[in-house]
Copies of this chain bind each other. A is one copy, B any other.
């Protein structure tokens, strides 16, 4: 089977990917150190049968560092942030069964689909507070409070820190306070923030933080982390209780909520190698935000009223969602229809706009140099000019 990477050396503006770009030094180490020789290259010195307990390379202490960096007491690596969310939902679902609670959870209306799927997998019913609608689509603490009151006692409140639709930052600390007052377990899905922006579980008063290493921690996929408090770690990281009937085998080091052992492999190695870089860049989040807001202004200027940011303003996150009637107009006359825009960008070695969409676009310039940002803006400027040409 032969295929190439068509987008090698392109500027990536897909907002899913910008926080996951693997530093060149890390890529080089993965290649030169032989870490790609075998999937299990993390496991040569595994003594206890669980990757998170490996000390050479230092996975165990690294997970302690991850927990500390995000303000938690304990962390485990998972199969992506979806695996982390599943572990939380499964813990909550099992708790509902034990305590005979109604399996209803309150989830923000801008949640990533993986939150809803994890709930579905764990047999939890999702109810949603409303957002504020067009054009900001904001989630408010008041709406959460109302919905919680309406439900009575949800088994969990789950909030997406920066949402995948608009890149709005949810009022996670206020919601945390509401949950704390009512003693409701609280999960913050920080897939789009943890690793790019400062994120602290304790400050949010959360019990669970779910993180995507390949989205926001410059790591290969699939990899996530679930970070929790000391108290909840005993539940979510409980070891296996099963005993095989005839052999009597038990699996005492294995964590059922994480498939026994979450393996890790090259994604974990990449995350360990990227971690210092990630910690450093988070310190410069404010500088990134001012670059991002200036990009928004410049792109709207190019659109001259026909490119408009959706979601909150000023931006407090790098995921940008624009309404783009100018590109919709062009798509109506262009022979490539809605595909023209993504293809126009790819011709300029800029990849990441969803192919086929022109009415709305989502993108990110997080971590790009000013020169690269200028190239992106220039490409959009040229795209806008197509309107005149086609008229």
Contact = CB atoms under 8 A, between A and B. Distances in A.
Q: Mostly helix, strand, loop or mixed at chain A's interface?
A: loop
Given A1-B58, A79-B222, A119-B242, A36 B30 contact: yes
A109 B247 contact: yes
A53 interface: no
A141 interface: no
Given A222-B264, A259-B86, A244 B1 contact: no
Point out which of A27, A129, A220, A267 has the most chain B C-beta atoms below 10 A from its C-beta: A220
A127 B245 contact: yes
Interface stretch (A272-280, A286-294, A377-385): A272-280
A364 interface: no
B262 A113 contact: no
A10 to B, nearest CB: 8
A220 B39 contact: yes
Contacts of A256: 117, 120-121
B58 A40 contact: no
Contact of A39 (B3, B9, B214, B244): B214
A41 interface: yes
A171 interface: no
Contact of A14 (B44, B109, B118): B44
A41 B6 CA distance: 10
A90 interface: yes
Contacts of A126: 242, 244-245
Given A30-B31, A38-B214, 9 more contacts: A5-B35, A14-B43, A31-B36, A82-B259, A114-B259, A118-B259, A129-B246, A130-B246, A220-B265
Interface of A: 1, 3-9, 12, 14, 16-17, 20-22, 27, 30-31, 33-41, 43-45, 47, 49, 56-58, 62, 65, 79-80, 82-83, 86, 90, 107, 109, 111, 113-114, 116-121, 126-130, 213-215, 219-223, 240-242, 244-247, 249, 251, 254, 256-257, 259-260, 262-267, 270, 272-273, 275-276, 351-352, 354-356
5 contacts: A17-B38, A45-B355, A79-B79, A109-B247, A128-B244
